[in-house]
A and B are shown apart, each in its own frame.
Chain A
Amino acid sequence: MAAAQLTDEELFSELKRLGFTPGPVTENTRPVYLKKLKKLRDEQQQRSRGAKGRSSGGGGSSVSINNNNSSGGGGGGNGHPAAGAAAVRARSAGARQLLNAKRPDRAGKFVLGFSSDESDAEPPRHKAGLNHSDSRRDRGSGLGLQSLRPPQESGAGVSASGPSKSPVGLLEARRSVLGSSPWWADRCKASLGETERSSRALNGNRSPYSLNSSKLAGDYSDTDEEEEEELEERERQRERRLLSRRSLSKASPSLSGVMGENGGDMGSSSISPKNHVDGGEGAAAGSSSTFSLGLRPRFSSSSYNSLSTTYRPNHSNHTGSNHSYGQAGTKRKQPAPEDELLEQFRREEVSGTGGFSAHYLSMFLLTAACLFFVLLGLMYLRMRGSGSTEGVVIKNHPFGAEFDSSYVTIKHVIEIVILNNILTSLSGEHDCKDLNQPLNRSISFSEAAEFLKLQNTDYEDWVQISLEWIIKTGEIVGIRLIAADPTQAVEEVSDISRLESTHPHMSFICRFRRAFFTVIYRVLLILAGIGVVWTLLYYMKYRWRREEEETRQMYDMVERIIDVLRSHNEACQENKDLQPYLPIPHVRDSLVQPHDRKKMKKVWDRAVSFLSANESRIRTETQRIGGADFLVWRWLQPSMSCDKLCSMPSKVWQGKAFPLDRRNSPPNSLTPCLKIRNMFDPVMEVGENWHLAIHEAILEKCSDNDGIVHIAVDKNSREGCVYVKCLSAEHAGKAFKALHGSWFDGKLVTVKYLRLDRYHQRFPQALGCNTPLKASSSSMNTMARLHQRSSTSSTLGFS
């Protein structure tokens, strides 16, 4: 039952397995089928529980069968009658006896495949080929498993028969799996007839769930049954082995361990064939692990419950323990199937789109936060970089040992520091004060020298040296030396004309402000850029849409013009007085409403030019109409054929939709008046005399019926109603049969009886009508055309 998400096919096969043939699983029917599946599973549970009561009846026979089975070999025949009886009982219990349905099938198979030899013949049916050999081995090894078997069996409601009972627990789907029968046969033969039975019963109980696990198994074989079969086999074997082990060890703790694991592990399907190989040996501990794979505690526990009632005398000692363990498992399993289905429902309900947008929103926020922090960091770094570098330490003394290193160094440092201070503060002021004041960023050399001299007269000498040093050293000490010619690099001290600090020292506020403004400006720039781009795109889209719209309108106009011209041409054919051309302005004025004219001018012009360029059936020429020269259009295409303009070719009878029988027509004609619906569409009709064609049609259709005295076409009815009065009810009945359900002009005609007095109320003129009407032309236009028209209509391009 661990079907996480049932696909349509899975749902379909699941339903089939449960004995219900579903229709197609589409998006509309899916929820319905899911509910159905849930219900079926619930019922299955109930039935398994309820079946236990019924199985008690079979307990007596089971004893005898077991005895036979225990004797070993050829016990199949014994098993059958009991199985058959049980099957009959089970079958009568209800159609959806999932558990029991299998019984009869199994019973039949038993006859065939009871001998162990036959089981060899059927290995191909088994997916897990190992099962066979293992089953035999297990058979041999299992001994004392009986304690569990009977309870399980009865739980499945199979208690009646011996070996044959095992199949009882299985689903109908297993019916066809012949492969299992030999396996069963093998089991039967074993002296542990009971063990097998009970294990099978247990398996059978579990079968509905094993279906799911079989799905999980991965190889979804071509037949679901085989898959289930295989899984069931595996489970059975596991169970059997486990039981055998348990019996061997006679340890109830193992059982409890098993139960515990069962509860948790129902859906696992990773059964490896080697499980069987273990056979009946092994400690209980080992068995519990394998057992956990397939045992369905719900059923087993339920079977355990029932066991207490149908317990067989020789296994009393184990039953009690089994029973207690069984309880625990049941509850655990019960909510599982419903939960899965509910989950599935919930999953379906959760729309993907909601989560989608939420995801994107969170991502966006995250990236925005990251960017913000990155920006902040950059700002900080920049500010740091622009901070003064008072702490510059001159590491390298390029002048070498010419000076007393430390003393001179210190001096130099001081000097440079002072200079730096001056310069940086100067630069800082300069930069910070928005260039309003004509501060100079740099100070001239002489000024610097003077300033230094003021500080300390000793500095005078060192000015030169230090400047030389600055030039020579490649370090950046924060002072930039500008020569007289700014572009020229400074080579000698004499070149120096000005000194400038490269690291302006600004106050914190200043720095912050500058950084802040820079950032703001940058951001604004980016936004402006994006805005511009976006506006551009929007505008382009708008223009494009506008153009499309106009083109569409133009084509629409062109079509309308063509229609007008064509119809005019046709009218001209009929009426030779009309001129075969139409003035262009007249056409425009008839097609375009006055209040639209200005708007549509452009469209109209485009249409006109399009027509003159691309339409071959229309010719533009100049004619004199009413004394003025007009540009006119002349329709050039000769009309296709004269048939089009003759009688209404479209109004013909086209056959019958359904045979009239008792159910869709009244058994006897009730009144002499009929109301016929859907014979025409009042919107589509043009002209004055189309109702005559309707009259004709009806008369011709009922030509064998001489009883129609009055026909009235309700021109205004939306449903296309025609009222007919006949001489008598019998005539009306004949007309009804002729008309009801026929196709006329592509519409399905229906007829109803109308009360005579109402009819007269509506059409008083019909009161006096007594003479039957006849079709005006004997040529049966509307009927005979049925055959002609089909050939001609395809060739003619009716507009």
Chain B
Amino acid sequence: MSSTSQKHKEFVAEPMGEKSVMALAGIGEVLGKRLEEKGFDKAYVVLGQFLVLKKDEELFRDWLKDTCGANAKQQGDCYSCLREWCDSFL
């Protein structure tokens, strides 16, 4: 139906709790590992960063790219996933 993936839907449907960072849409094993190395081991830490950047798309995408080398699609997925989650739960 929409252009969101299964992962996105799953993530957005419920509070993230202690979900690993790999539960984020767009973040797979490789990126997840890189994020964990930088200290972002849980999805809520990435959420924290997202909020600190004031939910700004461009900044968050840049940050994601710098931190784990995500490509444009992955950045977009992650951003929209987090944004939707925030809309629902924040």
Contacts and interface: CB of A to CB of B under 8 A. Distances in A.
B37 to A, nearest CB: 14
Interface string B1-43: 0000000000011110100000000000000000000000000
A761 B31 CA distance: 36
Interface in A662-706: 663-665, 677-678
Given A26-B52, A663-B87, A664-B88, A32 B66 contact: yes
Nearest to B59: A32
Contacts of A35: 62
A508 interface: no
B32 to A, nearest CB: 17
A657 interface: yes
Chain A interface size, under 10 / 10 to 19 / 20 to 34 / 35 or more: 20 to 34
A678 B49 contact: no
A24 interface: yes
Interface string B38-68: 0000000000010011101011001100110
Contact of A24 (B15, B17, B52): B52
Contact of B89 (A24, A31, A658): A658
A663 B17 contact: no
A31 B17 contact: no
A741 interface: yes
A661 B13 CA distance: 11
A541 interface: no
A752 B54 CA distance: 31
Contacts of A23: 52-54, 56, 59
Contact of A664 (B12, B49, B58, B62): B12
A29 B59 contact: yes
A130 B59 CA distance: 43
Contacts, number: 58
Contacts of B62: 32, 35-36
Given A31-B66, A32-B63, A657 B15 contact: yes
Interface SS of B by simple majority: helix
A678 B54 CA distance: 30
Contacts of A26: 52
B88 A661 contact: yes
Interface SS of A by simple majority: loop
B15 A663 contact: no
Nearest to A750: B14
Contacts of A271: none
Contacts of B58: 36
A28 interface: yes
A251 interface: no
Interface string A13-33: 000000001111010110111
Nearest to A665: B13
Contact of A28 (B14, B17, B49): B49
B17 to A, nearest CB: 6
B80 to A, nearest CB: 13
A748 B88 contact: no
Given A663-B84, A663-B87, A663-B88, A658 B15 contact: yes
Contact of B14 (A22, A31, A32, A664): A664
Contact of B15 (A22, A32, A748): A748
B82 to A, nearest CB: 14
Contacts of B84: 663
Contact of A29 (B14, B52, B87, B88): B52
A740 interface: yes
A740 B49 CA distance: 26
Contacts of B12: 663-664
Nearest to B60: A32
A29 B53 contact: yes
Contacts of A657: 15
Contacts of A32: 53, 59, 62-63, 66
Given A28-B49, A36-B58, A664-B14, 8 more contacts: A28-B67, A32-B53, A658-B89, A663-B88, A677-B14, A741-B14, A750-B13, A750-B14
Interface of B: 12-15, 17, 49, 52-54, 56, 58-59, 62-63, 66-67, 84, 87-89
30 contacts: A21-B54, A23-B53, A23-B59, A24-B52, A26-B52, A28-B49, A28-B67, A29-B52, A29-B63, A31-B63, A32-B53, A32-B66, A33-B59, A36-B59, A36-B62, A658-B15, A663-B84, A663-B87, A663-B88, A664-B13, A664-B14, A664-B89, A665-B13, A678-B17, A741-B15, A748-B17, A750-B14, A750-B15, A750-B17, A752-B14
